[in-house]
Structure 1
Amino acid sequence: MSKKEIAADIAKILEEIYPEVPVPLDHQDPYTLLIAVLLSAQCTDVRVNKTTPALWQLADNPYDMARVPVEEIKAIIRPCGLSPMKSKAISNLSKIILEKHGGKVPSTFEDLEALPGVGHKTASVVMSQAFGHPAFPVDTHIHRLAYRWKLSTGKSVTKTEKDLKRLFPEETWNKLHLQIIFFGREYCPARGHDPHACPICSKYGRATLFK
């Protein structure tokens, strides 16, 4: 089978298991999604979802957040890790959104990636989940599984993203990246994984998984 045929079969399996997929990070609008994704760097979605309600009580829009002292933001988001860096980024990007974008989260990759603390993966999540723009955010689960399933070499997340975009139809990207994330968590974890019991690895997993 060609890689495209394997990718099509994997997409079929994922669609059967996850016909509907929720957005993992709780949010109300593009701004709260942007902040939640920023907080999720080196942190679990569960921890972020436990932390953001207190942050939204303090400020859930760039107008209010820009007026909150960085130390107050840092105190609330400390459980998410990297709080000194993340709190400064939240404060500064809120001010930039006000000054340069009229208080609205920008809806282009270029403008999003110009914001403090916002890299390509974060921008991709916001473009996909907030604005419906075709994007394929590659997190650790997707990067790991693309290698396990021989869809990519695993040399870098940038390479993985390019490989997956070539293999899967653009109209599937926004849903598919979430399906792979959920599959990685529930069926195909990094540790304690039985490839024989995995509905995808049992068919397409690398031979090293079965040693």
Structure 2
Amino acid sequence: MTTKSLPAMGRRKCLKSIAKALQRTMPTPKMELDHRSPWELLVATILSAQCTDQRVNQVTPPLFVRYPGPGELAFAKLSELEQLIRSTGFYKNKAKHLLACGKAVTEQFNTKVPQTMEELVTLPGVGRKTANVILSNAFGQPGIAVDTHVKRVAKRLALTKSDNPERVEHDLQQLMPKSQWTPVSQRLLLHGRYVCLARKPRCGTCPIYQQCSWKEKGPQ
């Protein structure tokens, strides 16, 4: 993956232009994981690792009927939990994380999902990406959740050179006001999911083609 190098001022100007263009095509970007509470979003986000949101949305309704909250999940039978989430992939690790997460939220936070980055990342299966998803979508706090889509798009647009998610997050934070972190990162995610694909990106329909400095981009 090759991109031109841009100075900091150039990256800020580029991202501002990108943000405006994506806002026109996605005026109100929305989280695609179905949820009714911070806890449900936390569970869904853990399940979404290496899995599509559509598949997770098929799995979570019966899961939440069986285990409505962290208190119930804390005492789940591991084998039963594994079967309920099997189709999301990597289900054994995810089941262990969910079980431990239910116990941690119940015992350490009185069944309430914590509202700080520092506390969220202490939960089993929760890293900065998941924590940012929760903070921004459940609690309205600014955050940049760097998944594979955001990282790929940011690199192709020369907004970062790093493959490290935490570094990508930091690089993007430096290029825009804090108030823009959530909406811009959500649009970058959706753009990567539906247009700037890992393989065969849809450059012909890209709304930010002119701002893209990726040398391997296709014709418009």
Same fold (TM over 0.5): yes
Report whether the alignment pairs 1:126 with 2:137. Answer: no
Q: 2:6 matched to which residue of 1?
A: none
Give the AA of the match of 2:12.
K
Once the 2 structures are TM-superposed, how far is the Cα of residue 155 of structure 1 from its aligned partner?
2.8
Which of 31, 38, 41 matches 1:33? Answer: 41
Which position in structure 1 is the counterpart of 2:161? 153
> TM-score, normalization: structure 1?
0.94
**1:128–1:135 CA contact under 8 A, matched in 2:** yes
Q: Residues 1-211 of structure 1: matches in 2 within 5 Å? A: 2-210=10-218
What is the total number of aligned residue pairs between the two structures?
Answer: 211
User: 1:77-110, CA deviations, whole angstroms, 9 ceiling, x for partnerless residues?
Assistant: 0101111111111111111111111110111111
Alpha-carbon distance in 2 for matches of 1:59, 1:121:
24
Q: 2-side partners of 1:22 and 1:176: how far apart?
A: 12
CA contact (8 A) 1:195 1:202 kept: no
Q: Which one-letter code corresponds to 1:191 in the other structure?
A: R
Superposition RMSD in Å: 1.5
Instruction: In structure 2, list runs of 5 or more residues that go unmatched.
Output: 1-8
Distance 2:88 2:129 in 1: 18
CA shift, 1:42, in A, is 1.0
Query: Against the structure 1 CA distance between its residues 129 and 142, is the aligned structure 2 distance closer, same or farther, given a 3 Å change threshold?
Result: same
List gaps (5 residues or longer) in structure 1: none
- Report the structure, 1 or 2, having the larger helix content: 1
Counterpart CA distance in 2 for 1:103 and 1:210 is 49
String of CA shifts for 1:24-54, please: whole Å, max 9, x gaps.
1001100000000000111111111111111
Which AA in structure 2 matches 1:203?
Q
Letter in 2 for 1:76: L
> Deviation at 1:185?
2.2
Query: In the aligned structure 1, how far is the partner of 2:86 from the partner of 2:63?
Result: 11
Does 1 or 2 have the higher relative contact order (CA < 8 Å, sep 6+)?
2
CA distance in 1, matches of 2:35, 2:41: 5
In structure 1, C-alpha distance between the alignment counterparts of 2:112 and 2:202, rounded to whole Å: 46
Aligned-pair CA distance for 1:210 = 4.7
In structure 2, what is the Cα distance between the partners aligned to 1:85 and 1:185?
25
Post-superposition CA distance 1:134-160 (Å, at most 9, x none):
110001110000011111103321221
